[in-house]
Structure 1
Amino acid sequence: MLPSSFSIIVVLLFSIPSLSSSSSSSSSSELDILLQSKLLLSDPTNSLSDWDPVVNPNFCNWTGVSCSPTNTITSLSLSSLSLSGPFPHPLCLLPSLSSLSLSFNSLNSSLPSSSLLPCTSLSILDLSQNLFVGPLPSSLSSLPSLTYLDLSANNFSGPIPPSFSLFPNLQVLSLVANLITGPLPSFLSNVSTLRQLNLSYNPFSPSPIPPSFSTLSHLQTLWLSGCSLVGHIPDSLGLLSNLQDLDFSTNNLTGSIPTSLSNLSSVVQIELYSNKLSGPIPQGFGKLSSLRRIDFSMNELSGSLPDDLFDAPLIESVLVYDNQLTGEIPRGVAAARSLTDLRLFDNRLSGSLPSDFGRSSPLVLVDLSDNRLSGAIPSGICDGGALEELLLLDNLFNGSLPEGLGRCRTLTRLRLANNEISGEVPGPLWGLPHVWLIELSGNSFSGVISPSISGAANLSKLVISGNRFDGNIPPEIGALSVLYEFSAANNRLTGNLPASLSNLAELGKLDLRNNSLSGELPKGLRSWQKLSELNLANNALTGPIPPELGDLPVLNYLDLSSNALTGYIPVQLQNLKLNKFNFSNNKLSGPLPPLFAGIAYRNSFMGNPGLCPDMPGLCASRQGRTLNRHGLIWLLRSMFMLAAGILILGVVWFYCKYRNFDSSSNLIVDKPKWALTSFHKLGFSEYEIFSCLDEDNVIGSGASGKVYKAVLSNGEVVAIKKLWGASKLASDVDDGFNAEVATLGKIRHKNIVKLWCCCTYEDCKLLVYEYMPNGSLGDLLHSTKGGMLDWPTRYKIILDAAEGLSYLHHDCVPSIVHRDVKSNNILLDAEFGAKVADFGVAKAVEMSGKTPKSMSVIAGSCGYIAPEYAYTLRVNEKSDVYSFGVVILELVTGKPPVDPEFGEKDLVKWVCSTLEQKGVDNVIDPKLDSCFKEEILKVLSVGILCASSLPINRPSMRRVVTMLLEVSPLSKPKVSKDGKMSPYYYEDASSDQESVVRS
């Protein structure tokens, strides 16, 4: 038998005459057309291997081919076959082809109008989820039979052509997630046959919703999310009596919600979230017999909730969080028999919940946090048997917890922090089998932690601080194999720390301060390999400090102060990289480990008399303290007596304070010669900054200079970057300093590191930043501490950094391109919040048309530089997007951007080749919990998209933020009953419910 490829060539050689005339005639056989189309496509997975007339002569049996009874091809479905190449235009010569689907492939050419003109019989054309570029083909409206057109999730650009108003029979038009610009066209209202109009997630220019859309009487879906819409919602849209899905979310719409929307008699869901809508929610939605979902969240709505809001018989989800609503929750909420999802958090609601709330409803998620609600938690809130999340934090709820919560075995998250709830926690609640978060802090709970807690096999966070719990910590707590945080500070706990605590191998935070715990610290603490914070302050603990604490690789916060600990300070503690530690007010004795025997650590050892003889100059004697007290009295008297000389006294004080300033810093403390520029209100002077430039305070050093940690007199901690002087490349220093000041001095964002001020003197330049306790992402991720970055933490870091870059690209005028996005330039605060830093090579990019600005030299770091930047020196925001994609791949794989393991490849190429050859399990960091695999895969797909070799295929950072928000385990891709899906992910979802990440 001849090889497959050879047989195709033989067939084509004998059919050259007919193929040569195929562009102008349909006389070619359908077999020839299929073979010619196959030659145009790249088929890396051999999905079309059976398209071989020698092996399989009957083409009606070939993959994706459907024929009529007369063996004429009527349909081609070639979806998800990993095909690439141009659009196979010969397929349009198939005379009876009515349906063509090439979706979920990698077709990557433009789509010339001429290539589609012969498709006169085509009724369904689905080219979604490919890589097509260029303008939308204007000839599509010339196809007389076309009823379904889906071009979603490509890279089509430019405006929607006016010819799109001429479709004679089109029912579905879907252009979601492209690069379409221009205003939202009103001429689409001329396509009177439309049933679905899906234009979401395109960078349209700001434009209003055309009121003429109300003439589309057959319309069932109007999906305009993320279309830069402005202005009011037209009242006339209430005339769309067949409309089932109305989605205007994530725009800039203003004004009130039209009362006319309550006339949409067929509507199933109305989504207006993330706009700037104001005023009250109108009455009338309760009469809509098909309504299942309302989402008006993240607006500026005011007034009270309508009395009839929950009267709609099928209502399942009511989401009106993050507004300014007042008044009480309507009593009718208790009678909503289909209600599963109620989210009204971040409002100003008051009053109590109906006592029978939950008894008639299959509640799954209830979030009423951040309101002013009071009264008792309804006793039957879990009677529906489906409740998974109950979040009522930051309210005024009182009374005791209902016993029924102890039987709520479906519960996964219980957050009741900062209320006025009292009494004992029902015993069975401690041991619910699926719960992973119990947060009861800031209440008045009493009683003991029940031994039944051993049944909570999935409990990851137990936060019960600020209550009145008493008794012992039960030894059964050691059975919680996935417990990450145990915070029980400010209670009345007594007894010894159970030895079983050492069994908690996943423990990351243990906070038991301000209790009455006694006895010694448990043995076997080496198992706490993920512990980063240990706070046992203000208890009655005795015995020595266990030396094995020094073996904990990621411990950076240690507070054992105000106990009765004895013995030596273990020298092993020098192994720790502690951001904060405190051993004060104990009974410790003996010499200090050499690393701690410095003036900077004095306050960490105060109140340990046995340490004083071995710390000359650090622990003052009683006589010294008396003399200091007399000196202070003298100073105060002198100040009152010499009120007129306060200015002189201040100068003397400054002189005394800084007379021993380290001359090695080459700083001349001459106030008139120093230039200080502040960008925020400062609580310190430049002279206090200079005194901290000591080698003992160095926390980092790089190509541009050294970074010092400075603890100021007001308790504030800052980071000081001292740029290299004239001995280094002075021009580079000046450029970096000027870029940093020009950039950070004028921008404010929670995910951009804050620049407090800058100081200059001759060739010495200082930049003073907010201090980030957890250092850089790169240092943490690629060190022995990488294990402390679990997936939720990594996801938070990715999202924070993306929002920071999105601000630079989209909200700054002109936009700012960072040019050196990398994991070492993403800094982490105490809560692992991420902030973008180091703007020494950043540029404000003025765009002229679409031509990116050219830079004189390459800026960036090896492994992060976009391919086109390296050889063209053309820089725009897409260069940062590529670098950010590399950072995402770092966080997913745990690997650096370049590594000997990759050979001649970088991380991007290694990920792509490993995915193809070995599968995804060989890419994901093995330290990550497999329970998050679904979310990790989604983030991985975002990273690969960002790191595309073609700039046009990379999304904008604003779009990256949107994609990442939809990845959250609490935020599923949005799918409606008609199959509408978020354009960013290929997998379908079974629920159309959407959640919001809440910390």
Structure 2
Amino acid sequence: MSMAYSSRQHFPSLLLICFLFLFSKIKSDELQMLLNLKTSLKNSSTTVFDSWDSNKPICEFTGITCNSDKSVKEIELSKQNLEGVLPLDSICQLQSLDKLSLGYNFLHGAITEHLNNCTKLQYLDLGNNLFTGPFPDIPSLSQLQHLYLNQSGFNGNFPWKSLQNMTGLVTLSVGDNLFNRGPFPNEVVKLTKLNWLYMTTCSFEGTIPEEIGNLIELSNLELSNNFLSGEIPSQIVKLRNLWQLELFNNSLTGKLPVGFGNLTKLEKFDASSNNLEGDLSELRFLTNLVSLQLYSNKLSGEIPAEFGEFKKLVNISLYQNQLTGPLPPKLGSWTNFDFIDVSENHLTGPIPPDMCKKGTMTRLLVLQNNLTGEIPAGYANCNTLLRFRVSKNRLSGKVPAGIWGLPKTNIIDIEMNQFEGPVTSDIGNAKALGQLFLGNNRLSGELPEEISKATSLVAIQLNDNLFSGKIPVNIGELKQLSSLHLENNMFSGSIPDSLGSCYSLSDMNMAHNSLSGEIPFTLGNLPTLNSLNLSENEISGPIPGSLSSLRLSVLDLSHNRLSGPIPQSLSIAAYNGSFTGNPGLCSRTISFFQRCYPKSGVSKEVRTLILCFAVGSMILLAALACFFHLKKREKYRDRSLKEESWDLKSFHVLTFTEDEILDAIKQENLIGKGGSGNVYRVALANGKELAVKHIWTANSTSTKKSRSTTPILGKEAGKSKEFDAEVETLSSIRHVNVVKLYCSITSEDSSLLVYEYMPNGSLWDRLHASRKMELDWQTRYEIAVGAAKGLEYLHHGCDRPIIHRDVKSSNILLDEFFKPRIADFGLAKMVRANGGKDSTQVIAGTHGYIAPGKQFILASTLVNFTYIRFDFAEYGYTYKVNEKSDVYSFGVVLMELVSGKRAIEPEFGDNKDIVDWISSKLKTKESVLSILDSEIPKAFEEEAVRVLRIAIHCTARLPAMRPTMRHVVQMLEEAEPCKLASSAIGKDGVFNKGREVRGSEKYIPDQ
């Protein structure tokens, strides 16, 4: 009896001990699960895992939230640059886990069925990652309320039937994945509690079901960029809580449904690039509209006058429709209006005067309509304007003077109107102006000299006006000028000699003016001039022989007062008619011109004999002079180089002497001239070959520089800095994929860098020069991996991260086995050891490889981070550079490897590069395959597309969305043949464009 009583007495204590033991065991298990997660994931730029220490309570771990019983409730690790495969088998053993947020990272691999063990999940965010394969069936996740899987690389069939159990789902965001093409899933329209539905780019086809009207709680509905057809369902008018409706880029037809105006909470409506018809009358009640985009449809009728009273409207894009009538006079006058594009319609009436009333407008695009009246004076003070395009209308009057000098405007286009008056001196303030299109108006007066201060000008078109006076003599200060059209005006005086300094000029037309004087000899200095038209002027004198050096596809000097002989190299059939109307010209080969006769009476034979003797004598004397001069200079060069005091610093064990290097710096060993120095090949006595870069230092005097036979770099100033940067960077680097610097040899005047020699030149040579055929796909792939590993070492393997800042195919050298080496570190920058977060303000890099920069965010949502964004290329701009800039440049190199194209090609179009070109071809499988180099066999197409996908990740517009080089290496290694089971292109679907931002994102095109 007493024993039984004693047992009952101790039983609660035993239960408590067991509970405490079990509780301790659970806590220990949860700790181990979290440590497994830490081990599986890596992060290179954040400190999120620093607090994940086994000696600390798990509830103090960064990103971890616990319940009252100290069990893990939430894991919040989004936007932490995490890399690795997700250990779901471990995570889903956390019994109380109801939130798992891992969006905006670089997670990869497959999502397994273990996810079904997370039965208490209410919030799951795996969006914006790099997963592969299909998303698994998840019927057990019936408690889910928020599901984010957008833009994460999933493909194949999505398990829509799993949604049947998720009756409490509030957010469903699965867009921008490579799902198989199929109809809109009926399971979705049964989720009546949905508030947020993002299904852009999901390969849906067919019609939008009428049952969409059942989702009356929806505030956001995005179905853009699919293959949807038919009419917008009439039941959509029941969604009165809609804040955003996105139907962009489908094949929708018909009119806006009756009652659409009941969606009075709608702020953003985009149904652009469809085949919608009818008028806009249903929209006149949507007084809360902020953004309206309906461009590229078949809409007609007038723009509702009520739009002028919309207090929140900041952008409106209705171009390429059939709209008529006037623009509402008060349009955009109430708030911080941003842009309007109503081009290519049939609109009439004046331009609304107050769209820039608040001083925030960036774009005024109304070209190709029937607008009348003058340009409202208020736009002369609109200093935020970037684009001002009103061409092809019936506008008249004088252009307000301030328009010419708007400081941020990069294009002024008023062509084909009836404008009068002058271009004023205000144009000197237009520092950003790149394109000036004024043709076919009635503008008059002299062109102001201040135009030379608008130094960003690339194109000037003033044709078919009434301009007079002289062309400004200092117009040659426009160093970026590519196109100059002054034809059909009344310009007089001579053609400025300074135009010979516009080295980018490719197209010049001054026809039908009153120009006089002679053709400047300096025009022969223009290396890219392709078209020259000086016809119908009063130009006199001879045709300068310097024009013979040009490669002109168009030459017209007709109907002037030219005299003398036509240069023999211009007397070809291609230029027939180019010299007519110049009676003073003569030619020895063109039959319809008079023969060129000598002025003296000496016979032709005697003249020829004298000329030949004189020329022969001159050649002989010149040859002798050159011979003795070269001998003298060679002797003096040897003396000058060897007699100077040199300082040798070795970074490896050397098998050569200083004298061997100095003896080899001579013209016959010159193998290249680069931006950082002249390069010589040195063959040592032991058979080894070296490459030596010769750099003149900035403090060399002109006297000293003139002594050497070594060609001098064009820009001596600052070369000492490039030398110091290259030595500092390379002297401590030991990596098989970074070019080896053996030593530096410096004197007061110049410096020598001695490298290993790369017999196969650069990747650029092999891709774009005559030896391209030698690069098969396997070699290209190995070059990509090797170069990526070299950059990975620079970013992650050094004591201080090194930013190369000029990654390009010509800076990737190839050894005898085609193994790559990263080279040319003259612009490299070491980042201070403060976590690697420093960046540097520079103007560095090469056109076509520089990442895009300045961005305007027009709108963002708190839930879905939806952006409408404009990007401006940062070519030549000063901008912040960090490791992600190298990643972008390397992405361009990958695109070169895959496509065989250069970074800049004429076929890409004006101001376009290979990234723009490839982005335009990612719609269908066929267009993606057309990107690939024709030399890549079909058997390797899938592997090439995998590399292309990595390149697109690397060239993401937002730097934060680009992977690290460490992850690039990992992705490339996974892209090796047979390592990936699934293609980057779906069977019928669109190409996965890579990482950007969640939600609908597109570039609003303008004209």
Q: TM-score, normalised by structure 1?
A: 0.61
* Partner of residue 181 from structure 1, selected from 138, 144, 156: 156
| Structure 1 residue 97, shift from structure 2 partner | 5.5
Q: For residues 440 and 236 of structure 1, what CA distance do their matches in structure 2 show?
A: 49
Q: For residues 952 and 44 of structure 2, what CA distance do their matches in structure 1 show?
A: 32
Aligned equivalent of 1:464: 438
Contact 1:568–1:588 (CA<8 Å) still a contact in 2? yes
Q: For residues 445 and 368 of structure 2, what CA distance do their matches in structure 1 show?
A: 27
Aligned equivalent of 1:740: none
Contact 1:863–1:898 (CA<8 Å) still a contact in 2? no
Q: Which moved more, 1:262-271 or 1:292-301?
A: 262-271
Contact 2:124–2:144 (CA<8 Å) still a contact in 1? no
Aligned equivalent of 1:258: 233
Q: Which residue type is aligned with residue 925 of structure 1?
A: T
Secondary structure of 1:374's counterpart equals strand
Which structure has more relative contact order (CA 8 Å, sep 6+)? It is 2
1:925 and 2:898 are equivalent in the alignment: no
Q: 1:68 to 1:343 in 2, by over 3 A?
A: closer
* Partner of residue 431 from structure 1, selected from 405, 408, 414: 405
Q: For residues 327 and 892 of structure 1, what CA distance do their matches in structure 2 show?
A: 53
Q: For residues 236 and 127 of structure 1, what CA distance do their matches in structure 2 show?
A: 33
| Structure 1 residue 46, shift from structure 2 partner | 8.9
* Partner of residue 122 from structure 2, selected from 134, 142, 147: 147
Q: 1:579 to 1:986 in 2, by over 3 A?
A: same
* Partner of residue 234 from structure 1, selected from 209, 213, 216: 209
Aligned equivalent of 2:294: 320
Q: 1:963 to 1:229 in 2, by over 3 A?
A: farther
Aligned equivalent of 1:998: 1006
Secondary structure of 2:301's counterpart equals coil
1:211 and 2:186 are equivalent in the alignment: yes
| Structure 1 residue 357, shift from structure 2 partner | 2.9
Aligned equivalent of 1:98: 74
Aligned equivalent of 2:97: 122
Q: For residues 142 and 893 of structure 2, what CA distance do their matches in structure 1 show?
A: 37
Q: Which residue type is aligned with residue 454 of structure 1?
A: G
Contact 1:129–1:154 (CA<8 Å) still a contact in 2? yes
Counterpart mapping for 1:383-462 below 5 A? 383-462=357-436
- C-alpha deviations, 1:528-566, integer Å up to 9, x for none? 132222211221111112122222333322222222222
Contact 1:947–1:954 (CA<8 Å) still a contact in 2? no
Aligned equivalent of 2:219: 244
1:107 and 2:76 are equivalent in the alignment: no
Counterpart mapping for 1:177-576 below 5 A? 177-182=152-157, 185-305=160-280, 307-576=281-550
Q: Which moved more, 1:531-540 or 1:160-169?
A: 160-169
Q: For residues 821 and 262 of structure 2, what CA distance do their matches in structure 1 show?
A: 56
Secondary structure of 1:249's counterpart equals coil
Backbone CA RMSD of aligned residues: 4.7
Secondary structure of 2:574's counterpart equals helix
Q: 1:161 to 1:407 in 2, by over 3 A?
A: same
Counterpart mapping for 1:34-49 below 5 A? 47=47
Larger radius of gyration: 2
Q: 1:363 to 1:42 in 2, by over 3 A?
A: closer
Contact 2:325–2:349 (CA<8 Å) still a contact in 1? yes
Secondary structure of 2:540's counterpart equals strand
Secondary structure of 1:120's counterpart equals coil
Secondary structure of 2:325's counterpart equals strand
Q: 1:45 to 1:132 in 2, by over 3 A?
A: closer
Secondary structure of 2:468's counterpart equals strand
Contact 2:52–2:61 (CA<8 Å) still a contact in 1? no
Aligned equivalent of 2:62: 64
Q: 1:618 to 1:122 in 2, by over 3 A?
A: farther
| Structure 1 residue 526, shift from structure 2 partner | 4.1
Contact 2:957–2:996 (CA<8 Å) still a contact in 1? no
Aligned equivalent of 2:590: 617
Q: For residues 48 and 880 of structure 2, what CA distance do their matches in structure 1 show?
A: 31
Contact 1:284–1:309 (CA<8 Å) still a contact in 2? no
| Structure 1 residue 490, shift from structure 2 partner | 0.9
Q: For residues 825 and 350 of structure 1, what CA distance do their matches in structure 2 show?
A: 56
Aligned equivalent of 2:554: 580
Counterpart mapping for 1:940-951 below 5 A? 940=889, 943=892
Q: 1:826 to 1:236 in 2, by over 3 A?
A: farther
| Structure 1 residue 511, shift from structure 2 partner | 0.9
Q: For residues 180 and 388 of structure 2, what CA distance do their matches in structure 1 show?
A: 43
Contact 2:779–2:818 (CA<8 Å) still a contact in 1? no
Secondary structure of 2:182's counterpart equals coil
Secondary structure of 2:464's counterpart equals coil
Counterpart mapping for 1:714-725 below 5 A? none
- C-alpha deviations, 1:398-445, integer Å up to 9, x for none? 222222322333322111111111222122222223322110001111
Q: For residues 491 and 767 of structure 2, what CA distance do their matches in structure 1 show?
A: 39
Q: 1:826 to 1:355 in 2, by over 3 A?
A: farther
Q: For residues 97 and 824 of structure 2, what CA distance do their matches in structure 1 show?
A: 42
Secondary structure of 1:428's counterpart equals helix
Aligned equivalent of 1:171: 146
Contact 1:340–1:365 (CA<8 Å) still a contact in 2? yes
| Structure 1 residue 942, shift from structure 2 partner | 5.5
| Structure 1 residue 224, shift from structure 2 partner | 0.8
Contact 2:348–2:370 (CA<8 Å) still a contact in 1? yes
Secondary structure of 1:226's counterpart equals coil
Q: For residues 893 and 868 of structure 1, what CA distance do their matches in structure 2 show?
A: 15
Q: 1:269 to 1:963 in 2, by over 3 A?
A: farther
Q: For residues 31 and 960 of structure 1, what CA distance do their matches in structure 2 show?
A: 35
| Structure 1 residue 513, shift from structure 2 partner | 1.0
Q: Which residue type is aligned with residue 295 of structure 1?
A: D
Contact 1:508–1:532 (CA<8 Å) still a contact in 2? yes
Q: For residues 165 and 299 of structure 1, what CA distance do their matches in structure 2 show?
A: 39
Q: What percentage of aligned pairs have identical amino acids?
A: 29
Q: 1:43 to 1:300 in 2, by over 3 A?
A: closer
Contact 1:123–1:145 (CA<8 Å) still a contact in 2? yes
- C-alpha deviations, 1:574-601, integer Å up to 9, x for none? 3433333322222223334443243333
Secondary structure of 1:524's counterpart equals helix
Q: For residues 166 and 950 of structure 2, what CA distance do their matches in structure 1 show?
A: 33
Stretches of structure 1 that go unaligned for 5 or more consecutive residues are 1-21, 75-94, 623-782, 785-821, 828-836, 842-856, 871-888, 970-981
- C-alpha deviations, 1:160-183, integer Å up to 9, x for none? 333346432342332433132125
Secondary structure of 1:573's counterpart equals helix
| Structure 1 residue 221, shift from structure 2 partner | 1.4
Q: 1:430 to 1:869 in 2, by over 3 A?
A: closer
Q: TM-score, normalised by structure 2?
A: 0.61
Q: For residues 823 and 145 of structure 1, what CA distance do their matches in structure 2 show?
A: 55
Q: 1:324 to 1:916 in 2, by over 3 A?
A: farther
| Structure 1 residue 387, shift from structure 2 partner | 2.1
Secondary structure of 1:590's counterpart equals strand
Q: For residues 63 and 910 of structure 1, what CA distance do their matches in structure 2 show?
A: 44
Secondary structure of 2:230's counterpart equals coil
Q: Which residue type is aligned with residue 291 of structure 1?
A: L
Stretches of structure 2 that go unaligned for 5 or more consecutive residues are 1-21, 596-713, 716-762, 788-802, 833-838, 851-874, 899-939, 960-991
| Structure 1 residue 862, shift from structure 2 partner | 6.9
Contact 1:908–1:944 (CA<8 Å) still a contact in 2? no
Q: 1:869 to 1:30 in 2, by over 3 A?
A: closer
Q: Which residue type is aligned with residue 846 of structure 2?
A: D
